[in-house]
Amino acid sequence: MPKFAANLTMLFSNLPFLERFAAARLAGFTAVECLFPYDYPAEQIKEQLSTNGLKQVLFNLPCGNWGAGERGLAASPDRVEEFRAGVSKAMAYAQVLGVPRLNCLAGKRVSGYSDEEHRNTLVSNVRFVSEALQGAKLTLTVEAINHFDIPGFFLNRTEQVAQLIEEVNMPNVFIQYDVYHAQREEGELTATLRKYQKMIGHIQIADNPGRHQPGTGEINYPFLFEEIDRLGYGGFIGLEYVPEPDTMTSLAWVKRYGYQL
């Protein structure tokens, strides 16, 4: 049976961030994730996790100025030092929060640099992160983002992430498979899950179109969840969707599909 984690950046967004932990626990979740925890001291987030009996399963490495449209620095040839400084910050948060894995976003192409320069930077940076995390017994995931939602993003397809991981050649680097982005960019969800099952370290979901909860779009989530179980995936599935019309109403699909939080 799938294990679901509430993405607190997307869900319960009517509440201040630190109040979303209690709301998630009240809804029945035992695990949470978020895009970034860095706006709050790690100790405050740890307190919310402990008070509400929650496990934090994932967050992203620092990604530059998100509000200004930046979506990652790992492939940016001109910001290597900034990216690597962010790794130290993320590891400090991970240590306090007990997070087992961090996610890396490659970011958008930078004008004036070739694809080869972007790729060389990305390989070097991912290897740097994986070596740093290995000593702390943490794993790293790398995510592809569809080019419709984020034009210019450097990694768009699951195959590209798999090729990157093979080139980096470190045992603690995996694919973060976001079903929504995969459906928009490449489709073939079941075949892709089967092909790369051993490389997938974390899964996130949303339906398409609209990026709302399962059951609002074209993806056959009951079939997909059964396939994920059949393949033996034992990790959490992050609910990284825009709830419609609100979070609690949006969660009706869980019971309807025969699951529980």
Is position 261 within any domain? no
Closest CA to 102 of 199, 3, 36: 36
Give tens-digit pLDDT for 98-145: 999 999 999 999 999 999 999 999 999 999 999 999 999 999 999 999
| Burial classification of residue 101, based on how many CB atoms lie within 10 Å of its CB (0-12 exposed, 13-18 middle, 19 or more buried) | buried
Decide if 93 contacts 136 (C-beta within 8 A).
no
Give tens-digit pLDDT for 213-252: 999 999 999 999 999 999 999 999 999 999 999 999 999 9
Cα–Cα distance for residue pair 5/2, rounded to 1 Å? 10
- How many domains, in total, are found in the chain? 1
Domain extent, residue 66, equals 3-256
CATH number for position 107: 3.20.20.150
Cα–Cα distance for residue pair 115/22, rounded to 1 Å? 44
Is position 73 within any domain? yes
Q: How far is CA 140 from CA 90, 165, 226, 234, in A?
A: 11, 10, 26, 16
Helix then strand count (H, E) for the chain reads 10, 8
Is position 136 within any domain? yes
175 three-state secondary structure = strand
Is position 28 within any domain? yes
Proportion of the chain above pLDDT 70, given as a percent? 100
Catalytic residues: 143, 240
Cα–Cα distance for residue pair 202/58, rounded to 1 Å? 9
Closest CA to 233 of 198, 261, 260: 198
Cα–Cα distance for residue pair 159/244, rounded to 1 Å? 31
Cα–Cα distance for residue pair 99/198, rounded to 1 Å? 21
Is position 188 within any domain? yes
Q: What is the mean pLDDT of residues 207-212?
A: 98
Identify whether 222 is preceded by a cis peptide bond (ω within 30 of 0).
no
Query: According to the model, what pLDDT value does residue 77 have?
Result: 98
Query: According to the model, what pLDDT value does residue 179 have?
Result: 98
